[in-house]
Amino acid sequence: MKKEYLTFTPDIKNLKENQEVKLTVKDLTPGPRKYDARIVKAILSSDSKRLPEGDVLHVRSWTGMRYPQTWAIKILKELEETEAGTPHGETINAQK
């Protein structure tokens, strides 16, 4: 049974296929821990046939709209629970 994950992206064109990428995914396994976030290193494909060992990745836009097509994801490694960075970093950069 394939696991299902969810990720958010400002633009689906930003999702790189067939190479190692770092991204945040939400675990959609039913139960009280559903939507748990992980930061992972993974390989993605927009076509599950090209990544048959991959799990299912649902993709939503930065405003939460769902892209109709699911992707495939093969998680290579779970990274640290959180990332280095400054709170409100995007806003601080945008104001420079």
85 interacts with other proteins by CB under 8 A: yes
Beta bridge partner(s), residue 17: none
74 interacts with other proteins by CB under 8 A: no
From candidates 19, 49, 68, 81, binder to other proteins by CB under 8 A: 81
60 interacts with other proteins by CB under 8 A: yes
Tokens read off for 35: 């939507």
16 interacts with other proteins by CB under 8 A: no
Strand, coil or helix: 7: strand
What is the separation, in whole angstroms, between the first and last Cα of the chain? 48
1 interacts with other proteins by CB under 8 A: no
Distances (CA, A) of 58 to 33, 36, 50, 87: 17, 14, 16, 27
Residues that bind other proteins (CB under 8 A): 8, 10, 24, 26, 31-39, 60, 62-66, 81-92, 94-95
